[in-house]
Structure 1
């Protein structure tokens, strides 16, 4: 049901995000302003999402205007003011264009589009792998690097003594040397710790986790994060779980439902299981995450089922 108040909240959120992006474009933030921005981003994951979209639009304006538009100089606002004005108006109208940067830099947000393999970046001597359709905000201080994450999946290989802090809502993780993945889906946060150690804390508790382990947290919008489970990670399972960083999926006795969920992250063509009995049928194999049709054909043969391809979806049925 349409809610006028929720529509107003979204509009105000976009305007606030546009204001912050315009301010960071105009000049470096003062320490107090930087702290205020980070508090606003952490207060609500929707704030971070709005900021990511506004920042993406800013880069779209930067790159595309220079490449595609040739204009005759005319009296008017300075280029910086004009661009910030366009940015604020476009964000308020809900116009968003996603453009990937050439390299990660401080105070930069990332959002990957669909139909892209995971991308790997170097950031202050550490490696970051960003999955498709993921939102994050990267910043640095004199003492540490920080990542605010809204959704999606990120792989981190922290190799330097300079600490890295990762925040998801009110949840905080920190490390100086570790190799781990973070996957955020709604209220569920899955951390796969391959090597090294992680510090974790909420408002009233802190813990240190050592590798190799799989950590499952749950976090509602108004509650502290809760550790739901901690499971040992076998060596052979670690190899399988890290395959996504190379754009691969290694299915070791996966259910069809699990495989479909993974492939649907990477394609605008979505898979649907029409016959419920097929969802728990199991299969094994290795595929490129971008070769959905190869997977569908193989699954049809392995499970002895039928597939039907329509415009934007593939149907599995008995």
Structure 2
């Protein structure tokens, strides 16, 4: 009787391959808490427009929000380290991607006309390393690069959350093979560009009430508030958001596949092969070796 094959997360491996994982329950739980709390704060003008804080309150709370986010990201890094079997390979890759994103923002992103490339590496991190690592890459890169290239504003915590969500969105493709994930990442980058623009608009739209059909107004029901936000986005930033998505897609198209392949080749993503029990028959050991060889050929 043939031995069962179980899914390992990114490839189909036999059970003895699955020892450590770069994205386990700890990192997923921490990511869920950060994202849930952050979206509740960011989406306050939608779900409760009556009590939505004004601009003065946002400015006063910004340092506390930034401190809470930093604590959350440190906790997420520790959780990733634990989920990876206390190996630093995944965190090392995240650090390199954060550094690369900072360089891209400082040197290659003019920030005019929506031409930005800073979302590409966080998105690829989510595809190759999983959602928690993608979120950590995007959020950390936003914090560090902002400190390096300019004076942090009160919107920085929410901007970091949005960058992290772009990285997290890449995890939707983390189960696909490299070439398939790379091709699917191109349209995903465009969608992420528009979606991030809508979320970024929440930062200013909700703190500046008005009387026009596209302005925020206290007391609006959630559906009406969401409709006004989308109308506001169409009028003000949709073209820029789409341009950001297209430029991100071009970077993904140019370098996406080799980056995904290189990141997935990390030891903690390949797994650790445990020694075979002594009582296995020689033909069973040969099947293991054949399976390993086929995995390397197809992946």
Tell me which interval the TM-score lies in, with the shorter structure as reference length.
Answer: under 0.3
Highest relative contact order (Cα 8 Å, sep 6+), 1 or 2?
2
Q: TM-score, normalised by structure 2?
A: 0.22
